[in-house]
Amino acid sequence: MSSDRFDLKAKRSIANLANILSRYPNNDLQLSEIYNQFIFGNAYPADLAVLNEKNVNVFELKKDKLTDNKIPQIEKEIKKHLYYSLFSERIKANNIQRFNFYLIFLKDSGNDQSKRLILEKFHHLCNKINTIRENNISFIEYDVKDDNLIFEEV
């Protein structure tokens, strides 16, 4: 597992967000459009969507740590974004090669079990659709240290 840390208050935060996106081919932040509360279909807006010609990047933000009672809602959000992004008229490019789902949540030692369950549900949902598109999920924990908001991809 790779680990990328960035601090939103630091000038280098944009470069590190670009690094997180760039782990997938043709996913340059500079060539992307960024949307807040982007709706692919009829419901469940993505908290943040970063779209470009080859990638759909969805960032879902959770204000707390992961718990078992949040998993059904997260699964529903993944399903809606995963499926609606396949046929969304709101996506300008028609040659999307990759769907990247980033789940951002509060850093906590108890997140591991929930991450495993979410990963299983993600793969189960991906297996239900027959698509030539690659589908990925990434977990990003956040923490506050010295009045700085820190993100770490885990």
pLDDT tens track, the chain, 154 positions: 344 554 444 544 444 678 788 889 999 888 999 888 889 877 778 899 999 999 999 999 999 999 999 999 999 999 999 999 988 888 888 889 999 999 999 999 999 999 999 999 999 999 988 778 999 999 999 888 877 777 888 8
Domains plus CATH for the chain? Answer: 5-153 (3.40.1350)
d(CA 56, CA 40): 10
- The answer to whether 113 and 151 are in contact (CB under 8 A) is no
What pLDDT shows up at residue 93? Answer: 82
